[in-house]
A and B are shown apart, each in its own frame.
Chain A
């Protein structure tokens, strides 16, 4: 079966975002961009399923600007077989992304779709669940283990109290949590090979999806800044402070 892996180009996780002075958003000019870390885990999981003989073909897909081709090339260098970019400079909300992905899935007919559980820019944590709803498929979110067994998949999920395992019929939607795997680095030969792998360019209109936003962002501001406090010299001083606060 095929695996479809959506990936998003986001601000690199090591970069501290700067809020624009006019409150219109976060300044992304001249900022290092990378593949969303949870999506890297999704790509890696698809590759491992392929290596285990559970998946035959991996298609990476992204919705975003022309530069998201770089993100897709990274997925191809890691081991995806082909890629599709649905190009748009607009900011596309999770609901619209899910609608586009549903249309892509109708063509690709994947047995499993593996997505990152959330993107580290908008922190929405919605796209996978929305895609599952629109496709009327089961969802295994926040996965820390994925085991395909015949026509079903067991997904172990990271939940507030610990871990939970659910069994889903295939096709299914899986979203990745941090500890599912450790993504590989693409080797230089694979980066070279990835340049020759197919990358299709499409637009949201090709899939007939209206991407007009439903939410209006009226302001983006800095959070209240915490001031650094005092340093204490030793444990006795710390104990005195804690006692003064009524702790212990």
Chain B
């Protein structure tokens, strides 16, 4: 089977999420990568260096600069004429593009796969990860999105794939990019952080979140996450949200502070290696999944913890 993997990037750097998708694709067959962007040859060169990659297709056109689904889907559909599976990281870009491709190919997509069980058989989470379904595709071609935390990352170096230019399918004329507010942070990105410190509604407001959570995160060199409640309440921006519909994370250590542990939050972090919970309510559901729990007032113990580490 020949697979085509969507390379997640910002036109300069390939994102780590790509590497997990490469691992998933390599279980299906030959791995080709697609770099669609604008002025993105550097990304294609990084992609070509990924171990185990057979070929990199490079589509460099202004129409692809922001990965607008209307523009990139026809490009992918063209390439799928000689590939058997389209494999996307389950990032917001992948989730936006893949179903559009699937529908154009008349294929039922398999979202957020956790494992490859056979040529056309996969497991995936349903009901916020409260159940795991094994599904088998009967379609001629496959379209899958890959949960990044469920697969090891392919080696970013060691490969020397050829880069092949692909003709642009142009601008569909239906959509345009207006602008973005992308948070710049010195902290590790959530989906690749080794340690995450996460705060919940108990943090009261954005100033408190900042003054309690951030010093601990800085001390540990950790990424910072939040529960939906904390994001909804405006303590932190949306890109901090960990959960069923936010980011799915699986760090070595996840420290949940003032988070009760709603089902949809657990869905986003319960695959973390070690979970530490600090909450003053000893009956909070978060303690049912925590390896280490501390029942205490976070305002007292978090500053103390920060100081003693």
Q: Which A residues have a C-beta under 8 Å from some C-beta of B?
A: 11, 13, 16-17, 19, 26, 38, 93-95, 98, 117-118, 120-134, 137-139, 141-142, 144, 154, 157-169, 177-179, 213-223, 226, 228-232, 234-236, 238-239, 241-242, 245, 247-248
Residue contact B92 to A160, C-beta cutoff 8 Å: yes
Residues of A near B162 (CB, < 8 A) are: none
Q: Which of B280-309 contact A (CB under 8 A)?
A: 287-296, 301, 304-305, 308-309
Residues of A near B109 (CB, < 8 A) are: 94-95, 124, 126
The answer to whether B181 has its CB under 8 Å from any CB of chain A is: yes
Residue contact B136 to A218, C-beta cutoff 8 Å: yes
Tell me which of A94, A133, A141 contacts B104 (CB under 8 A): A133
Q: Which of B71-100 contact A (CB under 8 A)?
A: 73, 91-93, 95-100
The answer to whether B20 has its CB under 8 Å from any CB of chain A is: no
29 pairs from A and B in contact (CB 8 Å cutoff) = A17-B127, A17-B131, A19-B130, A19-B131, A38-B245, A95-B109, A123-B111, A141-B92, A142-B96, A159-B92, A160-B91, A162-B237, A162-B238, A165-B179, A166-B66, A166-B177, A168-B175, A169-B174, A178-B231, A179-B238, A213-B108, A217-B135, A219-B133, A223-B129, A223-B132, A229-B292, A229-B293, A231-B292, A231-B294
Residue contact B108 to A214, C-beta cutoff 8 Å: yes
Residues of A near B295 (CB, < 8 A) are: 231
Tell me which of B99, B127, B182, B263 contacts A26 (CB under 8 A): B127
Residues of B near A214 (CB, < 8 A) are: 107-108, 137-139
How many residues on the B side are at the interface (Cβ–Cβ under 8 A)?
89
**Chain B 121-146 interface mask (CB, 8 Å, partner A; 1/0):** 10001111111111111110000000
The answer to whether B239 has its CB under 8 Å from any CB of chain A is: yes
Tell me which of B92, B195, B270 contacts A142 (CB under 8 A): B92
Residues of B near A132 (CB, < 8 A) are: 69-70, 100
Residues of B near A178 (CB, < 8 A) are: 228, 231-232, 245
